Structure 1
Amino acid sequence: MTERLDASAAGIARAADLLRAGRLVAFGTETVYGLGADATDDAAVARIFAAKERPRFNPLISHFPDAEAAFREGVPNGLARRLAERFWPGPLTLVLPRQPGGTVSDLAAAGLPSVAVRVPRGAVTTELLRAVGRPVAAPSANLSGKVSPSDAYHVLRGLEGRIDAVLDSGPCPVGVESTVLDLTGTSPVLLRPGGITVEALEEVCGPISHPDDYAHTLPTSPGQLASHYAPGLPVRLDAQDVTPDEALLAFGPEIPGAGLVWNLSPEGRLDEAAARLFAGLRFLDSEGARRGLSRIAAMPIPRVGLGRAIRDRLRRAASPRPI
């Protein structure tokens, strides 16, 4: 049963308590309703992908009460600060290099060296984010591929029983998602049009490029590369056996004989496997290379639920590296 919380002090406090406990809470912003989870908690983030039936681990936008909090997770340059001064709080997401001491989880960042940050507008939203006191990952609160929700009723139609609560702050005034601007390169790149127009952005940054303008660079937007942030060791998929010179990414009962093992979930739970995926790949890659192992053998993952997203990420990790 999904709780429906009103936008009172008690409702906001209850929503914040649930988020801090690793639960899922949908909440309104000026754009659309987001499906919120503690962005520092891999298990909580995995619940977002499960609830939305999201087939890929795309990067999630993390939300903050102010620019100072956002810039503790993403490294700002001068342009980022000017954009924040002009458009935050508001419907603009900035993709920035991750701070070395940042707390946003690898799963929320999809294993990338960048993080997507936003300071949404609205008194209820700001009060909620301050009460949580942590980055809140929040894609749109709908099943993957469905229309984004602009009020609490829309959220409940799609996610009733799948999430813990919805904080009802009324209809969203903008009704379309935030504009996403990538500032990790030498010039700004528009990754998604949204609530802030390109014309308004160009008043601050000058000309803005689209990923299509870059035929030979490595974009940072979700799902644009067959292989992105793959491990240094080659990855072998759907392994039924393993050799001593291989590191094993296990799921369920382990295949014997590997030189190194990371089990995503000994009990075969897909939510646990999703939460441990990026940490496992990093561990097997670094420790396997240190031990002189030849590759990572990944055991089969079921093609259901979160398994589809895990398999998609592993397929990308196993794809040939771009030259």
Structure 2
Amino acid sequence: METKIFKNTEIEAAAKDLKAGQLVAFPTETVYGLGADALNETAVKQVYQAKGRPSDNPLIVHVADIQTVERLAQPLSDAAKKLMTAFWPGSLTMIFNLRPGVLSKAVTGGLNTAAFRFPANDTTLALIKAVGHPLVGPSANTSGKPSPTTAQHVAHDLDGKIAGIVDDGPTKVGVESTVLDMSTDQPAILRPGAVTAAEIEAVIGQTVATEIHQVGAKETPKAPGMKYKHYAPSAQVLIVNDGDWAEALAWAAKQPVQLGLMITDDRLHQLTVPRNVEAYSLGQDVTTASHHLFDGLRHFDDETDIKDILAEGFSNDGIGLAYMNRLKKSAGNTFFEA
């Protein structure tokens, strides 16, 4: 299959392929998604095949208006409506109980719930409207690999496997949306992202559960990233805490192989980097680090001589929680030990 690259002015051509049951990757403000018509079960099943994704891992449904959610979900609570007003379009995904029979089990992983998102990307909103149906949109990458933040990342993983990619340039946020479970009595964050628990609580006046866990081997996850290893390059990632940098680089200098280094600029300027270590800038702070995280992991994944990657850790405050959630998954929760 030839994978076409659509400009953001070629929405109708991309929509035509989606209407025909093909897969087309699309941009959002967070990462690129792998799109299929959410109401076409055959097309949705192709998403799992293209990604190599386990079929019990449910897919996020992307919409271009709140009315679509109201048609598919059980009646929305006042809290849900407040969150939609505050954060949609934007980087918040919400899980709702569904009306019977509205979505295929291929979308929901067999559950009676589904995750919905209204992305803050004009190109993709126009695409959804042109298709006339909501789109499923898991990250447009090979399952388990770092999520794509450019059309080139998508092509690297899925060229020849999907019909097309809508290229809208690099994404703005760089880590996937916050996933908030609104199908239970107490809202719970199942995946942290740019929208924080404190921001959600300020809108709904209710405490949000934030204990993020992996589900058991026989359980079906409600959201992506709860069961399977994610975001992992071929090299081993080692997370480095604040006080361990001198020891980490001393250890790196003794290694007989090339290593990667993902680090903020200020910290880099305070250190002496060994010759066998290639540095990748995470920018100035945790916000820019979140934006560059997946690109950095992919950068070193393309360099086959890199065997280990030292990556800067941050506190779990604000977006740092989302950054560390992704980094720990990419590292298999492995830290450098001085």
- TMscore range, shorter length: 0.5 to 0.7
Whether the 8 Å contact between 1:92 and 1:118 is mirrored in structure 2 is yes
Residue 202 of structure 2 corresponds to 203
Whether the 8 Å contact between 1:178 and 1:195 is mirrored in structure 2 is yes
| CA drift at 1:109 | 0.7
Give the 5 Å matches for 1:196-235: 196-205=195-204, 206-210=206-210, 220-221=222-223
Runs of 4+ in 1 over 3 A off after TM superposition: 210-213, 218-225
Residue 257 of structure 2 corresponds to none
Give the 5 Å matches for 1:157-176: 157-176=156-175
Structure 2 CA distance for partners of 1:224 and 1:196, relative to 1, 3 Å: closer
- The letter for the 2-side match of 1:66 is D
Question: In 1, distance between residues paired with 2:77 and 2:48?
Answer: 31
Whether the 8 Å contact between 2:149 and 2:171 is mirrored in structure 1 is yes
- The letter for the 2-side match of 1:189 is A
Residue 93 of structure 2 corresponds to 93
Question: In 2, distance between residues paired with 1:157 and 1:107?
Answer: 26
| CA drift at 1:101 | 6.0
Residue 123 of structure 1 corresponds to 122
Q: How many residues align?
A: 221
Whether the 8 Å contact between 1:31 and 1:172 is mirrored in structure 2 is yes
Question: In 2, distance between residues paired with 1:123 and 1:100?
Answer: 31
Question: In 2, distance between residues paired with 1:147 and 1:223?
Answer: 12
RMSD of aligned alpha carbons: 2.3
Unaligned runs of 5+ in 2: 228-338
SS in 2 for 1:72: helix
Say whether 1:2 aligns with 2:10: no
User: Structure 1-normalised TM-score?
Assistant: 0.64
- The letter for the 1-side match of 2:6 is L
Which stretch of the first structure deviates more once superposed, 195-204 or 59-68? 195-204
User: Structure 2-normalised TM-score?
Assistant: 0.62
Residue 154 of structure 1 corresponds to 153
Residue 18 of structure 2 corresponds to 19
Question: In 1, distance between residues paired with 2:99 and 2:37?
Answer: 18
Whether the 8 Å contact between 2:55 and 2:106 is mirrored in structure 1 is no
Question: In 1, distance between residues paired with 2:11 and 2:55?
Answer: 31
Query: Which whole-Å deviations, capped at 9, do the CAs of 1:23-45 have from their partners, x for residues lacking one?
Result: 00001011100000011111111
- The letter for the 2-side match of 1:58 is N
SS in 2 for 1:108: helix
Question: In 1, distance between residues paired with 2:99 and 2:58?
Answer: 16
| CA drift at 1:65 | 0.4
Whether the 8 Å contact between 1:70 and 1:119 is mirrored in structure 2 is no
Q: Percent identity?
A: 43
Whether the 8 Å contact between 1:31 and 1:175 is mirrored in structure 2 is yes
Question: In 2, distance between residues paired with 1:61 and 1:37?
Answer: 11
Whether the 8 Å contact between 1:4 and 1:166 is mirrored in structure 2 is yes
Whether the 8 Å contact between 2:179 and 2:223 is mirrored in structure 1 is no
Whether the 8 Å contact between 1:59 and 1:222 is mirrored in structure 2 is yes
Residue 192 of structure 1 corresponds to 191
Query: Which whole-Å deviations, capped at 9, do the CAs of 1:82-107 have from their partners, x for residues lacking one?
Result: 100000000110100102363x2221
Question: In 1, distance between residues paired with 2:45 and 2:221?
Answer: 24
Residue 66 of structure 2 corresponds to 67
Say whether 1:145 aligns with 2:155: no
Question: In 2, distance between residues paired with 1:209 and 1:149?
Answer: 28
Residue 257 of structure 1 corresponds to none
- The letter for the 2-side match of 1:117 is F
SS in 2 for 1:150: coil
SS in 2 for 1:107: helix
Give the 5 Å matches for 1:45-60: 45-60=44-59
Whether the 8 Å contact between 2:32 and 2:151 is mirrored in structure 1 is yes
Give the 5 Å matches for 1:302-317: none
Whether the 8 Å contact between 1:27 and 1:125 is mirrored in structure 2 is yes
Question: In 2, distance between residues paired with 1:6 and 1:219?
Answer: 35
- The letter for the 1-side match of 2:209 is S
Whether the 8 Å contact between 1:49 and 1:57 is mirrored in structure 2 is no
Whether the 8 Å contact between 1:70 and 1:118 is mirrored in structure 2 is no
Question: In 2, distance between residues paired with 1:125 and 1:47?
Answer: 20
Question: In 1, distance between residues paired with 2:49 and 2:33?
Answer: 15
Question: In 2, distance between residues paired with 1:13 and 1:223?
Answer: 32
Question: In 2, distance between residues paired with 1:19 and 1:56?
Answer: 21
Whether the 8 Å contact between 1:74 and 1:117 is mirrored in structure 2 is no
Question: In 1, distance between residues paired with 2:164 and 2:56?
Answer: 23
| CA drift at 1:219 | 7.5
Question: In 2, distance between residues paired with 1:174 and 1:212?
Answer: 21
Whether the 8 Å contact between 2:179 and 2:190 is mirrored in structure 1 is yes
Query: Which whole-Å deviations, capped at 9, do the CAs of 1:154-191 have from their partners, x for residues lacking one?
Result: 10011100111001111111111010000111110111
Whether the 8 Å contact between 1:15 and 1:128 is mirrored in structure 2 is yes
Question: In 1, distance between residues paired with 2:165 and 2:132?
Answer: 19
